[in-house]
Amino acid sequence: MQNHDPIMQAICRRTFLDRSRVGLGAAAVWSLLGRGQVAGAESKRPGLIEPLHHAPRAKRVIFLCQAGGPSHLETFDYKPKLAEMDGQPMPESFTEGQPIAQLQNNELRCFGPQRKFNPHGQSGQMISDVFPHTAKLADDLCIVRSAQTNQINHDPAHTFMNTGTQISGRPSMGSWITYGLGSESENLPGFVVLTSVGGGQSQPIAARQWHSGFLPSRYQGVQFRSTGDPVLYVSRPEGVAAGPQEDVLSAVSALNRLRQDATGDPEIETRIAQYELAFRMQRSVPELMDISDEPAHILDLYGTQGGDGSFAANCLLARRLAERGVRFIHLYHRGWDHHGGVREGVAKTAGLVDQGTAALLTDLKQRDMLKDTLVIWSGEFGRTPMAQGNGRDHHIKGFSLWMAGGGIRGGMSWGATDELGYHAVDNVFHVHDLHATMLHLLGIDHERLTYRFQGRDFRLTDVHGRVVKPLLA
């Protein structure tokens, strides 16, 4: 490739001057640039932003998405006044003119908190009894009780949480971040998605949640699955043993190389590199998924034997992915949509995620990785202080999430909802602010991570977002 360097420079210069060119030329250029990444030799850091906008506090993100919308009122937002008002009509001053989902045209009555809360840790943060394991790490958590989003139905709300808009076709945050920072892994994708289910109604999740939108497809999240092939098509076909498969790959590479010499097509070089990476993935993915090298005390910590697709097993995989340099690890647990039976439901779903979550934090800490791994725990929205039977409806004007590690100040609470847990009233923390703060911790100025598409410079934070400095350690 040495002789191609001037070409590459020429192409790179042009492309960076005008990234809106999405035709073949640009595609080839992206592939060419990608080559550095997959070959893993030349580039220090294969991302777009070089140097970073400021010193980073985190190198990677593990996002624990609690899909369905966990009730903040049964988890992290203690509202004694709501308990007093249990069964009474919800004051109209709270709800007038507000968007409402399934409770449309229903009588709105207060529904007291269904779980017990206690202060935890030296910080004394209020956490409900459904998270006995996580609560022990209260001094590591920064609990935000004033989160807000714009979308009240699951599907658009996830899209909003992931892309900063409800319009489809925009890149998700994992794609933005791998686009900006690249991956540190030579054998694995930079953005990995793991899913689990259980504990409540499991709302569907669309692949658009980890799509790269208008960014090049190689920034797309790759789903690692617990059943079947862990990565789509990573297993060899029946009747093709490892040796013959390698022979086929070698023959393909040799033939591609001959063709490249004849036609001067640099895209072939990329194709060869991608086949090499595919070959390595056929080894690295099974090796990643095989947790037989984990000692018993680690399995006990997480409370899993692995291989079962549980949230706990995914937490353990998340740590293994983090160790291997994966940039953005996105876990979804689908099971928080408690329209009914919120008291038992929240406990049940929490029971499925609590130990794994706490184990992940503990494990990262004992490996000294929590300091540069940002862990975020959040749903796509919260739930109403009003009853829906003995459950709660979707709610977007105030909910809770927490962050830990990666430059976050532990043992603190941020923001508050009103006395009934309806509106975030103190230090409102919008999804855009979450994005801005997350990018900031990674060394990225959210206003400067842009991509030109259809004549406009797009950002994860659109035209919004503030870095919330008090949360930073």
Partner 1 sequence: MAGRSWWGMAACLFGLAVSSVAADEKVDYQRQIQPLLARHCYACHGPDRELQENELRLDRREDALESAITPGDPSASTLLERILEDDPELRMPPPASKKPPLTDEEIDLLGRWIEQGATFTEHWSHQVPARVAPPKSGGWSRGPIDDFVAARHKQQGLTAASAADRRTLVRRLSLDLIGLPPTEGEVDAFLADTAPGAYERLVDRLLASPHFGERMAVYWLDLVRYADTGGYHGDNDRDHAPYRDYVVEAFNENLTYDRFMREQLAGDLLPDRTRRQQIASGFNRLNMTTREGGAQPKEYMAIYAADRVRNTGSIFLGLTLGCCQCHDHKFDPYTLRDFYSMAAFFADVQETLVGIQKPLLLLDPQQTQRIHDLEEAASAAQSLLDGESAAWDAAQVRWEAEEERSTELVWTDPAQLQIASQAGNTFEQLEDRSLLALGDRAASDTYVLEMPIPPKGLSAFEIELFPHATLPKQGPGRAGNGNLVLSEFEVWRDGERLQVAEAVASHSQSGWEIAKTIDGDEATGWAIRPKIGQRVTAYFALAEPLAAGAEGNLEVRLRQLYGSGYLIGRLRLRTTDAAEPLEAIKPTLPYKAVYDALAQRSDGRTDAEKKLLRRHFRGIAPETEGVRTLIRDAGKEKKTIEESARRVLVTMAREPRVVRILSRGNWQDESGEIVQPAIPASLGTIEVAAGKRAGRLELANWLADPQNPLTARVFVNRLWKLLFGRGLVNSLGDFGTQGTPPSHPELLDFLAVEFVESGWDMKHLLRQIVLSSTYRQSSDTAEGQLDEDPENIWLARQGRFRLDAEMIRDNALALSGLLVSRIGGESVRPYQPEGYLAHLNFPQRTYQADQGENQYRRGLYTFWQRTFLHPAMALFDAPSREECTVARPQSNTPLQALLLLNDPTFVEAARALALRILEQGGDDDRAKLRYAYRRSLARDATDGELEVLEQLLAKHRDHYRNHESEAAALESNGLWQTPEGVDLVELASWTNVARAVLNLHETITRN
The two three-digit tokens of residue 13, written as one number: 């210069």
Q: Which two tokens stand for residue 117?
A: 């809360």
Please give the size of the binding site for partner 1, defined by CB under 8 A: 110
In the bound state with partner 1, the residue whose beta carbon lies nearer, of 255 and 473, is 255
Candidate residues 43, 245, 427, 450; the one interacting with partner 1 per rule CB under 8 A: 245
Strands 373-378 and 399-404: antiparallel
Upstream peptide bond of 171 is cis (omega within 30 degrees of 0) = no
Q: Per CB under 8 A, does 243 bind partner 1?
A: yes
* Residue 181 · residue 172 · CB < 8 Å: no
Task: Please compute, for residue 470, the number of CA atoms within 13 A of its CA located in the half-sphere on the CB side.
Answer: 10
- Select the residue interacting with partner 1 from 147, 359, 370, 387 (CB under 8 A): 387
Q: Is 394 in the site for partner 1 (CB under 8 A)?
A: yes
Closer of 24 and 296 to partner 1 (Cβ):
24
Which part of the chain contacts partner 1 (CB under 8 A), choosing from 23-31, 45-53, 377-385, 412-420?
23-31
Measure CA of the first residue to CA of the last residue in the chain; give whole Å: 45
Question: Which of these segments, 210-218, 357-365, 412-420, 436-444, binds partner 1 (CB under 8 A)?
Answer: 210-218
Min separation Cβ 76 and partner 1, Å: 22
80 binds partner 1 (CB under 8 A): no
Residue from 20, 242, 283, 367 binding partner 1 (CB under 8 A)? 20
**311-315: Cβ within 8 A, 24+ apart:** 311/196, 311/198, 311/352, 311/353, 311/356, 311/357, 312/352, 312/353, 312/355, 312/356, 312/359, 313/196, 313/226, 313/356, 314/194, 314/195, 314/196, 314/226, 314/356, 315/64, 315/356, 315/357, 315/359, 315/360
Which CB atom, from 99 or from 132, has the smaller least distance to partner 1? Answer: 99
User: Which is it for strands 391-395 and 382-388: parallel, antiparallel or unpaired?
Assistant: antiparallel
Q: Does 255 bind partner 1 (CB under 8 A)?
A: yes
Scanning residues 331 to 360, which ones bind partner 1 (CB under 8 A)? Answer: 334, 341, 344
Instruction: Tell me which of 2, 5, 17, 18 binds partner 1, using CB under 8 A.
Output: 18
Determine if 218 is a binding residue for partner 1 (CB under 8 A).
yes
Stretch that binds partner 1, among 73-81, 235-243, 296-304, 321-329 (CB under 8 A): 235-243
Nearer to partner 1, 23 or 51 (CB): 23
Q: What are 394's strand-pairing partners?
A: 383
User: Is 11 a binder of partner 1 (CB under 8 A)?
Assistant: yes
Nearer to partner 1, 301 or 386 (CB): 386
Any contact of residue 10 with partner 1 (CB under 8 A)? yes
Q: Which stretch binds partner 1 (CB under 8 A): 363-371, 381-389, 401-409, 437-445?
A: 381-389
Q: How far is residue 149's CA from residue 161's CA, in Å, rounded to a whole number?
A: 8
Q: Which residues of 36-55 are buried (b: 16+ CB within 10 A; e: fewer)?
A: bbbbbeeeeebbbbeeebee
Which residues of 68-207 form beta strands (DSSP E)?
A: 117-120, 125-128, 141-148, 191-197
What track of x and - describes contact with partner 1 for positions 259 through 298 (by CB under 8 A)? Answer: x-xxxxxxxx-xxx-xx-xx--xx----------------
CB 229 within 8 A of CB 235: yes
Footprint of partner 1 on residues 152-191 (CB under 8 A)?
A: 152-156, 167-169
